Amino acid sequence: MRSFWSDPYLWIHLAGLAALPLWLELCFLGLAVGDPIFPVWLELALVAIAGIAPILWMQWQRPFYIFSLLAISLKPENLTLPQRQLLTRFKSIQNRLLAVVVSVLLAIALRQLYVLAPIGTAAVPFSIESRGLGLVIAAIAFLGSNLFLQVPVSVASVMLTSDSAFTSTEPYPLEQISQHFTSVGLPVSQLLPEFLEDSAIASPIVPSPVQSESAVEAGDLWEGDLVPPIEEVIPASPLESGVAEGEESNAAASEAEDSALEELIVEQEAVEIEAETIVEVAAISDISVEVADPSAISVPTESDREVEQEPVEDLAAIARIDEQSPAERSSTEEPDPAKSDPLI
């Protein structure tokens, strides 16, 4: 799909091709009214000239202004640049040649309708018998047939333009649009609803190298001196600030959770290490008990207890003696029989 196909006016006028069979049927019924009063070639010429010449001249000199509907049209100053490019494509020599080809094909179709017209005499719904009035109806219907075929064909021709060719097309001069295009209806500022108007293409025109260089020079002159960056001028909205604060609080909460989890892991590791140490000490003690000689362990008897009590009593007596004074100590001491006997 080409970029400029999003313009709704192209599709609206391309859909006008659906009305072509109705206009041809009306022309057929007009030719079936009454009996011929002029030669065949003259009647065909009158209907053909009246139906072909105005539309062919319009498409050749002043193409139909497609930005219009019924009795209203869009003001030229409200057109976008791509829409003005479309107008330039409608003025191409290719569309003029297509208008001639379409006119020839419709003239051939008119000849076939005239030949088959007597068959439809009984089916004419008009309550008229005037041949002249029938020819007028046929000429008006044939004019509508030309209009509803010429315009869709020119639209289809423009829509088949490649993107590269369309991009290189110059926009039509704004002041010449009213003079060089056929606009029927009251000019208004808006035709379609806003959502359809917004869907119209608004792609920029590719600038020439000279224009791009001048734009770069202008940007170098003004960018650093007068135009501050957009980020510095536009403050953050309250919604953005609230979102930022929420993100910061979430980050702080996640960091606190991570630190608490790390502390819990460290405590758990310490408990496991302590438990392992206790198990190792218990194992070592069990091993020492098993290795010890049971025969070396003796149970104390009553005699042993008496022997152990004697040294304890001697120590108590020595302590009491130390606490006595020298006089008491001399009185309590027993005289040595050997020293007291002089004969010894």
The position carrying tokens 């333009």 is 161
pTM tops 0.75, yes or no: no
Phi-psi region of 185 (alpha: psi -120 to 50; beta: other; left: phi over 0): left
pLDDT of residue 283: 65
pLDDT of residue 162: 87
User: In the structure encoding, which two tokens stand for residue 334, read together?
Assistant: 């027993």
pLDDT of residue 216: 43
Contact assessment for residue 181 and residue 62, using Cβ atoms and an 8 Å cutoff: yes
Beta bridge partners of 292: none
User: In the structure encoding, which two tokens stand for residue 72, read together?
Assistant: 């209203």
Helices (H), the chain: 8-14, 20-31, 40-61, 81-90, 93-116, 131-159, 163-167, 177-180, 194-198, 209-223, 230-233, 238-291, 302-323, 326-332, 337-340
Distance between CA 82 and CA 2 in Å, rounded? 13
pLDDT along the chain (344 residues), means of 10: 80 92 93 87 94 94 89 89 91 93 95 89 75 92 95 93 88 91 86 62 44 45 43 47 58 71 76 74 58 47 48 57 54 48 42
One-letter amino acid for residue 305 of the chain: R
CA-CA distances (angstroms) from residue 207 to 174, 204, 211? 18, 9, 6
Distance between CA 331 and CA 289 in Å, rounded? 56
